[in-house]
Amino acid sequence: MKVAGRHYRSLWWDGDAGTLRIIDQRWLPHDFRIAELRTLDDCAVAIREMWVRGAPLIGATAAYAMALKMHDDPSDDALARARDELHATRPTAVNLRWALDRCRDALASLPYSARAEAALVLAHDIADEDVEINRRIGEHGLAIIREIAPRKAAGEPVRMLTHCNAGWLATVDWGTATSPMFQAHDAGVPLHVWVDETRPRNQGALTAWELASHGIAHAYIVDNAGGHLMQRGLVDMVLVGTDRTTRRGDVCNKIGTYLKALAAHDNGVPFYVALPSPTIDWTVADGIADIPIEERSARETTHVLGRTGAGDIEHVMVAPEGTPGGNPAFDVTPNHLVTGLITERGVCDASAEALSSLFPERADAAAGSQQGLS
Ligand code: MRU
């Protein structure tokens, strides 16, 4: 998508330097900075400390990290260690495991001399596929928005609510939840987006920045406002992203998503999830029992990053000195609260039957490998 009129992806390969360039998201929306990642360790830090974030982007970054490692050391030992080191950076978004296992499986059978080049080609493929998946999610999501639009009074926009940032910054391009918004806006459908700030890290500010860059009407709201807005009839549709969706359609996403789903259910507001297929974890059915939830530093809750009146980007403390904090980073919305999953192959119910009929080859492969294990 565009920043100040220039097209960017959230990461790209610098062929001359042989390094990965990323948009360093720690500074957004206050400052637009590009960082260079030269090694696997650089990439691991960038993922863990959320210079890059969002499930699909974490996966793509990890794939490039594997390519950087294979350039330095293409041995079997390095391949296994790289996979494990990167896998340990963030536990919840399953795209990380998906990308790493795809790289390991493709590279392991190659001679050492072929691994560096093959790893880079694979990382490019993963990045390009992500862009296409998200473009298609946008087309299917647009169809839903188009169904709602004629029910609005003349001149009234379709009012959407989103949580966290499932925008282009969280993917390689387009975003998942934002792709239908961008495409609806481009198609001339009047739109207004309520953007949850998403404490503690305020990823909503990234979404607001993206929507503003694209000229989409929006308002940045506190996380607690959603239920009230739904009761007043001011939300036509909730659309969020996901970090891991189980084979039966339980949706793990940024902390607070579950509360939005509950409020949507109580108020008869459709609750949709933009779901790229690499975010489906076919090995897990019960999301509440079996998805690992990342617990991040309590400092993220007691301190907030912002720009001061003097223009400096600083952390300020918002809790009493020494207050203990708790910081679970994700929650699980059970499938019965989800109206539909918007995938690259179309929209389906949040159920095992619907997901496996949309992705039969993946469901079969996962069932086969589970049988092999038992
Ligand atoms: O902790 P984050 O910022 O990586 O969490 C991001 C989210 O929860 C997104 O909604 C999710 O990864 C989907 S991104 C297309």
How far does residue 81's CA lie from ligand 1's centre (Å)?
26
Q: Whose CA is nearest to atom 6 of ligand 1?
A: 54
- Which residues, at least 6 apart from 264, have a Cβ–Cβ distance to it below 8 Å? 230, 235, 238, 270, 271, 337
Q: 2-129 domain in CATH 1.20.120.420?
A: yes
| Domain 136-373 classification at class level | alpha beta
Cα–ligand 1 centroid distance for 199 (angstroms): 13
Which pair of tokens denotes residue 88?
Answer: 């340990």
By alpha-carbon position, which residue is closest to atom 8 of ligand 1? 254
Handedness of CA 367, 369, 371, 374 (dihedral sign): negative
Residues with CB under 6 A from ligand 1: 53-56, 93, 164, 166, 170-171, 176, 203, 241-243, 253-254, 329
Q: Is 243 a catalytic residue?
A: yes
Q: Which of 97, 253, 301 to mutate to test the pocket of ligand 1 (most atoms within 8 A of CB)?
A: 253
Rounded CA Rg of the chain: 20
Task: Write down the pLDDT at residue 325.
Answer: 86
Mutational test site, ligand 1, from 9, 25, 53, max ligand atoms within 8 Å of CB: 53
Whole-number Å distance, alpha carbon 166 to ligand 1 midpoint, is 6
Crossing angle of the two packed helices 178-186 and 112-148, in degrees rounded to 10: 60
From the list 243, 250, 281, 331, the catalytic residue is: 243
> Could you tell me the residue ranges of all domains in the chain?
2-129, 136-373
Q: What pTM was computed for the model?
A: 0.97
Per-residue pLDDT of the chain (374 residues; tens, 9 = 90+): 889 889 999 999 999 999 999 999 999 999 999 999 999 999 999 999 999 999 999 999 999 999 999 999 999 999 999 999 999 999 999 999 999 999 999 999 999 999 999 999 999 999 999 999 999 999 999 999 999 999 999 989 999 999 999 999 999 999 999 999 999 999 999 999 999 999 999 999 999 999 999 999 999 999 999 999 999 999 999 999 999 999 999 999 999 999 999 999 999 999 999 999 999 999 999 999 999 999 999 999 999 999 999 999 999 999 999 999 899 999 999 999 999 999 999 999 999 999 999 999 999 999 888 777 65
Amino acid 374: pLDDT = 57
CA 162 to ligand 1 center in whole angstroms = 12
The per-residue pLDDT for 371 is 75
* DSSP characters over 33-97: -EEEE-SHHHHHHHHHTTSS-SHHHHHHHHHHHHHHHHHH--SHHHHHHHHHHHHTT-SS-HHHH
Using alpha carbons only, give the angle 133, 138, 139 rounded to the nearest 5 degrees. 100
